[in-house]
Structure 1
């Protein structure tokens, strides 16, 4: 069953660019992963510290593989201590 992810990452002000770069570095390798149907990075118009990744995956197994990918490990390392908050929503696609 397809599922969507909305990942919201709020950067500490002094780390905004580093967080943004780390997130942008995820785009190319993730978009070619099996099961990735959408992987788009956004920034909040009202709060430039707030980055939002909108994802769609073919199924939970493909998402799980993504979560254990080398580029996900690099992202986690790159933003460690640089984010004021991270919120992950897992959504079932209805229509």
Structure 2
């Protein structure tokens, strides 16, 4: 069953550009993964420090594989200490 993910990453203001660049760097390799249906980065209109990744995956297994990739690990290292929070919500389609 397809799975959607909304990941909200809130950067510390002084690291906003670095966090954004790290998130932009993961787009291409993530989109190239088998089972990735969507991987798009957004910024909220009311807070430039709040970045939102909207993802769609073929199923839970493809998301698990994504989280085990080298580029996902590199993202974690790149933003470590530069964010005030990361909130990940997994969604199952209803209609």
Query: Normalization by structure 1: what TM-score?
Result: 0.98
Map residues 14-33 of structure 1 onto 2, 5 A cutoff. Answer: 14-33=14-33
Give the secondary structure class of the aligned counterpart of 1:19. Answer: helix
Aligned length: 95
What does residue range 31-50 of structure 1 map to in structure 2 within 5 Å? 31-50=31-50
- 1:72 equivalent in structure 2: 72
Runs of 4+ deviating beyond 2 Å: none
Gaps of 5+ in 2: none
Matched, 1:4 2:4: yes
Three-state SS of the structure 2 residue aligned to 1:71 is helix
Q: 1:43-76, CA deviations, whole angstroms, 9 ceiling, x for partnerless residues?
A: 0111000000000000000000000000000000
Stretches of structure 1 that go unaligned for 5 or more consecutive residues are none
TM-score (norm 2): 0.98
Q: CA RMSD in A?
A: 0.5
